[in-house]
């Protein structure tokens, strides 16, 4: 079993991300709290790039719950048909828009229970909205963070909630506001699923992942030596 992170190691882990990118931002394009909520709902099992491509023309004219309801489900489906699961997502967006009008005066609520009561909104979506819109130090665990938490052994867990709970405990308070953005971006561009870019990783020496990817062009015997050295260093920490 990989050795758990110590508090000092977790602090060093996030201090490096903070030094590299002090003020990370979501890659979803939005105009206001409502359009962010819609974008996050649409991003389930879809890429941010794909969502942004579909919402760019949509959000130019539809940027409030009332305008979305007036657009209607059929035209919304047409606008987002390039996004996976678009039919069900369109249904949920129209329903949550009606709920915002009926129960929250057309405004996005700053309340987890109220957010999760909206159609199509789960814990991850609520966490993103609370963090990005309202500046709360929530951690939204998506597939990238789930992978990074388990692969590095920073916050291992069998499901997203377990990873979230472990991150809540291990991430130092001063880094919690941006923690999920750093981890998402790290998982999206460096700690990728099939072949992690370990030679480019700024926390590789802290990571507990034994089978680290060797530098490009390394000969087989060099690869073995590098992996052996890294495994030995990991055990010594």
Please confirm, yes or no, whether 89 is among the known catalytic residues.
no
- Specify burial of residue 228 (Cβ count, 10 A radius: 0-12, 13-18, 19+): exposed
The tokens for 112 are 């987890």
pLDDT digits (tens, 9 = 90+) for 66-106: 999 999 999 999 999 999 999 999 999 999 999 999 999 99
What value does the mean pLDDT take over residues 27-47? Answer: 96
Mean predicted confidence (pLDDT) in 108-115: 96
pTM of the predicted protein model: 0.86
Give the per-residue pLDDT at 2: 84
Of 234, 201, 198, give the one whose Cα is nearest residue 214. Answer: 198
> Which one is catalytic: 6, 48, 124, 232?
124
Spot the catalytic one: 63, 142, 176, 225: 142
Q: By the 8 A CB rule, do 29 and 62 touch?
A: no
pLDDT at 218: 59
Across the range 114-143, mean pLDDT stands at 96
Q: Closest Cα partner for 141 from 86, 158, 198, 17?
A: 158
pLDDT at 113 over 90: yes
**Is residue 164's pLDDT more than 80?**
yes
CA 92 to chain centre: 21
Active site residue 124: yes
Write down the pLDDT at residue 208: 93
């Amino acid at each position: 079993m990989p050795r758990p992170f110590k508090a000092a190691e977790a602090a060093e882990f996030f201090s490096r991300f903070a030094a590299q990118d002090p003020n990370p931002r979501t890659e979803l394009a939005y105009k206001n709290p409502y359009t962010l909520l819609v974008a996050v709902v649409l991003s389930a099992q879809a890429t941010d790039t794909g969502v942004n491509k579909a919402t760019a023309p949509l959000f130019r004219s539809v940027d409030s719950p009332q305008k979305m309801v007036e657009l209607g489900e059929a035209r919304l489906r047409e606008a987002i048909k390039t996004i996976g699961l678009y039919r069900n997502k369109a249904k949920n967006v129209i329903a949550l828009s009606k709920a915002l009008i009926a129960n929250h005066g057309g405004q996005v609520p700053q309340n987890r229970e109220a957010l999760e009561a909206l159609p199509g909104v789960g814990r991850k979506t609520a966490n993103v909205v609370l963090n990005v819109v309202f500046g709360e130090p929530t951690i939204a665990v998506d597939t990238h963070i789930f992978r990074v938490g388990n692969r590095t052994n920073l916050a291992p867990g069998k499901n997203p909630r377990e990873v979230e709970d472990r991150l809540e405990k291990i991430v130092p308070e001063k880094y919690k506001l941006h923690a999920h953005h750093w981890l998402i971006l790290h998982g999206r561009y460096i700690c990728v699923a099939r072949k992690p870019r370990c030679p480019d990783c700024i926390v590789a020496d802290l990571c507990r992942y034994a089978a680290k990817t060797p530098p490009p062009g390394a000969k087989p015997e060099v690869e073995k030596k590098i992996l052996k050295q890294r495994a030995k260093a990991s055990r010594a920490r």
